[in-house]
Amino acid sequence: MFGSPANGNYMGILELVGQYDSFLATHIEKYGNPGYEQITGDPEEKQITRQEAKGLSNEFHKLETGILITLWDTVLQRFTNTSKALQCATLDLNNAVSLLNSLQDFVSSLRSEFDDFEEQGKELSETNTYEEETRRKQKRKKQFDESSGEETRMSRKEKFRVEVFLRIIDHLNTALVYRASANKDISSKFGFLSKVMTMDRNSLKHHCDLLVNHYPSDIETSFSDEMIHFASYAAANINDFRNKNENHECSTELIVYRMLLQHGLKEVFPNVEIAYRLYLCLMVSNCTGERSFSKLKLIKDET
């Protein structure tokens, strides 16, 4: 959209050139951001273009469309900002899982916000009635074995909330659970590494033993004793090291690992160093491989 700070490089260049070209500036002013009503009433436009613009204009003046626009605007803003954070090079796995969990909680909280979206949709679409309320109600022919009582009918508002609004929220929640499931299991194993300075002895030992059971060939059974010792050392020195560290955007796990290396403690706490290194080498992003097309199957079918 012309005049918007988020209009992209191409439209931004056109705006820049238009400052020195009067013809282009006039063209952008006249045709840059035309509304559907303007296109509908423009005799210079083709008939099919005016019909399409009229159809889109009618669609945007429906209450259902206004509600969906406000809903998706809210949802996509949160998804976009979360996606940018997940692409950050300094983001670690535990914080990534926390971001996805918080996003899922936010989406779930929208289930009770339908009335607010409806009010915003009314203001945007400039109408207070649902489309089906303006149509003639159809009566269904009853079968011989059905009762003669009146059928229970949901209002158009309730029908739209149940069949459209809540369905969107549920599908988003399902997708978020699937997206985070690949990382939650790993995060549950390594999540305690950011809290070793504040955990009690029994809880810390329990998490260390679980990690040893998952990585018996990498971490020795003495890991819990090393971690209890290291937790006491880290609690006494982490603040001074953090203040001296220039990059304050690092995660707690990375700062602890750097402190361990720079203080020359790799030989003192070898299993602690291995545990932090295993965690910091894990990827935040994940992908699913798609099944490739089988040329052999095509050959078999043709023969």
Question: DSSP letter string over the chain?
Answer: -TT-TTSHHHHHHHHHHHTT-HHHHHHHHHHSS--HHHHHT-TTS-HHHHHHHHHHHHHHTSHHHHHHHHHHHHHHHHHHHHHHHHT-TT--HHHHHHHHHHHHHHHHHGGG-HHHHHHHHHHHHT--S-GGGGSPPPPPPPPTTS-SSPPP---HHHHHIIIIIHHHHHHHHHHHHHHHHHHHHHHHHHGGGGSTTTS-HHHHHHHHHHHHHH-TTTS-TTHHHHHHHHHHHHHHHHHHHHHH-S-TTS-HHHHHHHHHHHTT-TTTSHHHHHHHHHHHTS-S----PPPPP-HHHHHHHH-
CA distances from 269 to 199, 219, 251, 272 (A): 18, 11, 20, 5
Q: Rounded mean pLDDT of 98-119?
A: 91
Q: Give me the residue spans of the domains in the chain.
A: 60-132+153-184, 195-280
pLDDT reported for residue 270: 92
Burial grade of 301 (CB within 10 A; 0-12, 13-18, 19 or more): exposed
Q: If you average pLDDT over every residue of the chain, what do you get?
A: 80
Highest mean pLDDT: which range of 49-63, 122-136, 266-280: 266-280
pLDDT digits (tens, 9 = 90+) for 211-234: 999 899 999 999 999 999 999 999
Q: Is the pLDDT at 294 greater than 70, yes or no?
A: no
Q: Rounded mean pLDDT of 115-144?
A: 76
User: Which residue matches tokens 């894990």?
Assistant: 282
User: Which residue matches tokens 């040329």?
Assistant: 295
pTM equals: 0.65
* pLDDT confidence band for 129 (50 / 70 / 90): confident
User: Which residue matches tokens 């390594």?
Assistant: 190
Burial grade of 3 (CB within 10 A; 0-12, 13-18, 19 or more): exposed
* pLDDT confidence band for 63 (50 / 70 / 90): confident
Choice between 230 and 29, residue whose per-residue pLDDT is larger: 230
The upper half-sphere exposure of residue 269, i.e. CA atoms within 13 Å in the direction of its Cβ, equals 25
